[in-house]
Amino acid sequence: MKKSLNVLVVDDDRMMVKTICDILEISGFNCIKALNASDALELLSTNEIDCVLTDIKMPNMNGAEFFREIRQRDSEIPVVLMTAYAKNELVDQALIEGAMSVLNKPLDINILLNFLNLLERELYVLIVDDNYQFCKTMADLLKLRDINVAYYTDYSELDGRIWSEGEILIVDLNLKRISGYDLMKKIRSEFPFLPVIIVTGYRNEHQETIDMAISDSAFTCLFKPVDINELISTINRLIKYELKKKLGFRFNKKR
């Protein structure tokens, strides 16, 4: 059974912490409370924390300074900032340095819950490519990194499939009976928010199609032979992009 997320909630306003934690716990998440950054850092060292939600304006150590301390200890843990101020230079700097996003007080709790629900989902990657060896090799390497994978050498096997959040489609542009671009458009006509990574072994020949696919919201294109480390990095970047979208954060994708 998959464990619930552990969310560290940090704010010098005791009632704010209690209110947020009550709502999150009713929604199935585990909450760990802290009223200042120093106590929160101790809790980070003694607990398995999946996400940090912190106020930006706190005495002694503000939220931006707290975020930097977290990053020195754990470069991956998602950190979401809270503020009651429309414009805050501390927030802007923390976002530049890698904080997930900022939520304005009073919090829109639905935005926070949507973000945490996606963060909690297990990642599932689906590969569509006529080349069985490519599919199997990529799948085996991803499974070694504890990523759930399924692959299809016949795109028709996807007919009728229901896609859900937490799934990523990797599709080759050069399929035999349909172009990967047309397959992407077909699937996304029904599931417009499905994250898609395209791959191809024909960099020059497919440049126009690559540009169209990116324009139609494919996340990026990787070129064969695909380096597994580049693929993992791209998947991680895509996950962060999708999580930030849940928080209403907008930024430009990089190819």
**Each residue's pLDDT tens digit, 132-157:** 999 999 999 999 999 999 999 999 99
Q: Which range has the worst mean pLDDT, 21-35, 49-63, 87-101, 168-182? A: 87-101
Buried b / exposed e over 65-94, threshold 16 CB at 10 Å, is ebbeebbeeeeeebbbbbbeeeebebbeeb
Q: What angle in degrees, to the nearest 10, is found between the helix axes of 63-73 and 89-97?
A: 10
> Are the beta carbons of 170 and 125 closer than 8 angstroms?
yes
pLDDT tier at 118, thresholds 50, 70, 90 = very high
- The residue among 54, 16, 18 whose CA lies nearest residue 36 is 54
Residue whose tokens read 């560290």: 8
Question: Which pLDDT score is estimated for 251?
Answer: 44
Using DSSP's 3-state secondary structure scheme, residue 155 falls into: helix
Question: Which of residues 163 and 49 earns the better pLDDT score?
Answer: 49
Structure tokens at 150: 């399924």
pLDDT in tens, 180-232: 999 999 998 999 989 999 999 998 888 999 999 999 989 999 999 999 999 99
pLDDT band at 249 (very low <50, low <70, confident <90, very high): low
- Mean pLDDT, rounded, of the chain: 90
Q: What is the pLDDT of residue 1?
A: 44
Identify the pLDDT of residue 86.
Answer: 59
pTM for the model: 0.84
